């Protein structure tokens, strides 16, 4: 009985892990930090009592919330160490592998860089809606915000990104 429960949990985990990794990477920006954060979330899920685990309406939404909280804590402790945001981005770029460097030359990736330069809450909302395609009520519960606020934020961010796109297009800089 325990074994089959573990097996279904393992099946769930695979999908959750990729999702959590993408979200944590969007918030923390650094690849290594995101890998650590993902591990942390998975370990916590694994240690959790199976009955408690099955009691959640959606284990996925729960994991994403946990990932978000973990990332925000990480960012906060970084700020406590007087690391500025720029420094953080710079460091992550320095330590990135050759593969990432190649990816940065990729045309699509400058869109990603543009998103990564948004404040963390906006990055999170873009990631959850445009990439993970969550419903407004799910995003609202993950971020602990009213649904209406999420819509307002999203509209604002979409317009902001559009504006930046148009500026880039008009100046011809990439």
Binding residue count for another protein, defined by CB under 8 A: 31
- Give yes or no for a contact between 21 and 38, defined as CB atoms under 8 angstroms apart: yes
What gap in Å lies between CA 167 and CA 137, rounded to an integer? 33
What gap in Å lies between CA 116 and CA 68, rounded to an integer? 16
- Give yes or no for a contact between 39 and 9, defined as CB atoms under 8 angstroms apart: no
The smaller minimum CB distance to another protein, of residues 75 and 116, is found at: 116
| Residue in 9, 12, 17, 91 binding another protein, rule: CB under 8 A | 17
Q: Shortest approach of another protein to residue 169 CB, angstroms?
A: 6
Q: Shortest approach of another protein to residue 172 CB, angstroms?
A: 13
Among residues 116, 103, 2, the alpha carbon closest in space to that of 50 is found at 2
Torsions phi, psi for 118 (to 5 deg): -75, 160
| 18 touching another protein, by CB under 8 A | yes
| 133 touching another protein, by CB under 8 A | yes
What gap in Å lies between CA 22 and CA 60, rounded to an integer? 13
Q: Shortest approach of another protein to residue 26 CB, angstroms?
A: 8
The smaller minimum CB distance to another protein, of residues 13 and 75, is found at: 13
Contact positions vs another protein (CB under 8 A): 17-18, 20-22, 25, 31, 35, 38, 107-109, 111-112, 130-133, 135, 151-155, 158-159, 161-162, 165-166, 169
């Amino acid at each position: 009985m325990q074994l089959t429960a573990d097996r279904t949990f393992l099946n769930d985990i695979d999908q959750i892990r990729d999702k959590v990794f993408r979200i944590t990477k969007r918030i923390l920006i650094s690849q290594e930090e995101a890998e650590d954060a993902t591990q942390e979330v998975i370990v916590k899920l694994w240690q959790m009592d199976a009955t408690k685990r099955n009691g959640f309406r959606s284990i996925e939404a729960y994991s994403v919330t946990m990932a978000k909280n973990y990332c925000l804590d990480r960012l906060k402790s970084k700020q406590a160490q007087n690391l500025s945001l720029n420094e953080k981005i710079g460091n992550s770029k320095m330590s990135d592998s050759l593969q990432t460097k190649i990816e940065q030359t990729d045309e699509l990736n400058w869109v990603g860089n543009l998103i990564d330069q948004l404040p963390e809450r906006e990055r999170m909302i873009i990631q959850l809606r445009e990439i993970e395609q969550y419903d407004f009520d799910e995003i609202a519960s993950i971020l602990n915000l009213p649904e209406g606020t999420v819509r307002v934020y999203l509209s604002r961010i979409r317009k902001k990104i559009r504006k930046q796109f148009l500026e880039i297009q008009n100046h011809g800089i990439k």
